[in-house]
Amino acid sequence: MKVREMDIEFYRSYMAELEAKAQTKWQYNEMKPCGVNYNSISRAWLYDKSHQRFRDYKTESEEIIALLGLDANRTVIDMGCGTGAFAIHAAKHYRKVYAVDVSKTMLRRARSKARKAKLNNIEFHHSGFLTYEHEAEPVDAAVSMIALHHLPDFWKLIGLRRMAQMLKTDGKLYLFDVVFSFDIESYESCIEEFIQSMTDRLGLQSRDAIKTHFHQEYSTCDWTVEGLLERAGFQIDSADYKDGFFAAYLCTKKIV
């Protein structure tokens, strides 16, 4: 009997609901899609194709690795690893990479890439900021690329605090995400210009997904993210704001 893609999607949705019921009832359910559904097979397949129109995975990974300044014996967590944009490249530089994501479909694609690259030092986990339990020794660094905005601000803080606990003393955090630093007085025109700019890069078929980011996801302001990082136990070593909509932070875990 031929299994239809819609049947697979229904089964995954049902399993996600069961997993959600097993969680603490008042905790935010990070397994439930926020905005664009990255549990979708078609969405996961198109993710790399669309993102590589405005991202160079290898170049951005090499830049992050240089910023972290770690030797080859170090360990790193990639929180929200997606299809392995960073984890695949990082595994060639570090002893161990823990790749964590809430989407089983995206993880499946990342595993496939790792097998193709013959990498056996990546440990994949179906989990997220709020649910991942790091049972190994603390890591030297944590990296999160375009993932934290899937959590409301309170839960961002909880997720960042949990990541700090997984790091060694003086461990590093590199965070890149959609962060708003544009002039709030002109928010309507700024957002419309951003949507048009990203549509020009990604194609007209991506326009609705880009709009979804603003009315269903949880990106927040630059000063909010800075406050969250500091209250989570990080010292911000550098903050690089790009085009009013993106930000990159290099942080060090504070010594308590």
pLDDT at position 1? 43
Domain-by-domain residue ranges, the chain? 5-23+33-253
5-23+33-253 has which fold? Rossmann fold (3.40.50)
In our burial notation (b when 16+ CB lie closer than 10 A, e otherwise), range 180-194 reads bbbeeeeeeebbeeb
The two structure tokens encoding residue 150: 């899937």
Q: Is the pLDDT of residue 213 over 70?
A: yes
Mean pLDDT to the nearest integer, 243-249: 97
Q: Is the pLDDT of residue 255 over 90?
A: no
Read off the pLDDT band of 205 (50, 70, 90): confident
The two structure tokens encoding residue 106: 């995206």
pLDDT at position 14? 53
The H or E element spanning position 140 is: strand 139-145
Mean pLDDT to the nearest integer, 156-166: 98
Read off the pLDDT band of 20 (50, 70, 90): low
* Phi, then psi, of 149 in degrees rounded to 5: -70, -5
Q: Is the pLDDT of residue 245 over 70?
A: yes
Overall pTM surpassing 0.85 (yes/no): yes
Read off the pLDDT band of 15 (50, 70, 90): low
Q: Is 122 exposed, middle or buried (0-12, 13-18, 19+ CB in 10 A)?
A: buried
First CA to last CA distance, the chain: 60
Q: Is the pLDDT of residue 36 over 70?
A: yes
pLDDT at position 24? 67
The two structure tokens encoding residue 206: 């991506």
pLDDT at position 35? 83
Q: Which of 43-47, 207-211, 234-238 has the highest mean pLDDT?
A: 234-238
Q: Where are the alpha helices (DSSP H) in 23-103?
A: 41-51, 57-68, 87-90
Read off the pLDDT band of 55 (50, 70, 90): confident
Q: What is the pLDDT of residues 110-147, one digit of tens each?
A: 999 999 999 999 999 999 999 999 999 999 999 999 99
β-pairing, 122-126 vs 96-101, is parallel
The two structure tokens encoding residue 8: 């697979």
64, 43 Cβ separation under 8 angstroms: no
